[in-house]
Amino acid sequence: MQELIRQEEIINDIATQISRHKIHSAVKVKFKVGRLTNITEKVLLDLFIKAVGRNNLQPDMAIEIEWMPARLKCNSCGASAETGYVCPACKSEDLKVISGEEFFLENVYY
Ligand SMILES: [Zn+2]
């Protein structure tokens, strides 16, 4: 639930940003979303439409999502991993997220 509130906040920020950029004439918006955010395409779409308002959008406006892969790095041995909570090399649980938590508006197309 906490995660969803954070997502709503981000989408509201984005809606504020793009309301300055004539969102009603946009034909496409592109988001970059990390694999670790738990956001699905449907959640993103629902939150976005809720924040911006369907009446403010072109009926056929497209939402494109570029999924960013998850990358973790072990703080103990320096090995990298794509998923999981344990280092594949040394079994340490001390992993740092390098990427995969991104969530932002990349571009608006008119
Ligand atoms: Zn390790």
Are the beta carbons of 61 and 27 closer than 8 angstroms?
yes
Q: Which of 97, 20, 27, 102 is nearest to 64 (CA)?
A: 27
Fold type of domain 2-109? hypothetical protein PF0899 fold (3.30.2320)
Average model confidence (pLDDT) across the chain? 85
CA of 2 to the centre of ligand 1 (A): 30
What confidence category does residue 3 fall into, taking pLDDT thresholds of 50, 70 and 90? low
More confident residue, 88 or 16: 88
CA of 96 to the centre of ligand 1 (A): 11
pTM, whole model, 2 decimals?
A: 0.74
Domain ranges of the chain: 2-109
What is the Cα–Cα distance from 63 to 5, expressed in whole angstroms? Answer: 21
CA of 82 to the centre of ligand 1 (A): 13
Q: What is the pLDDT of residues 67-106, one digit of tens each?
A: 999 999 999 999 998 877 899 999 999 999 999 988 888 8
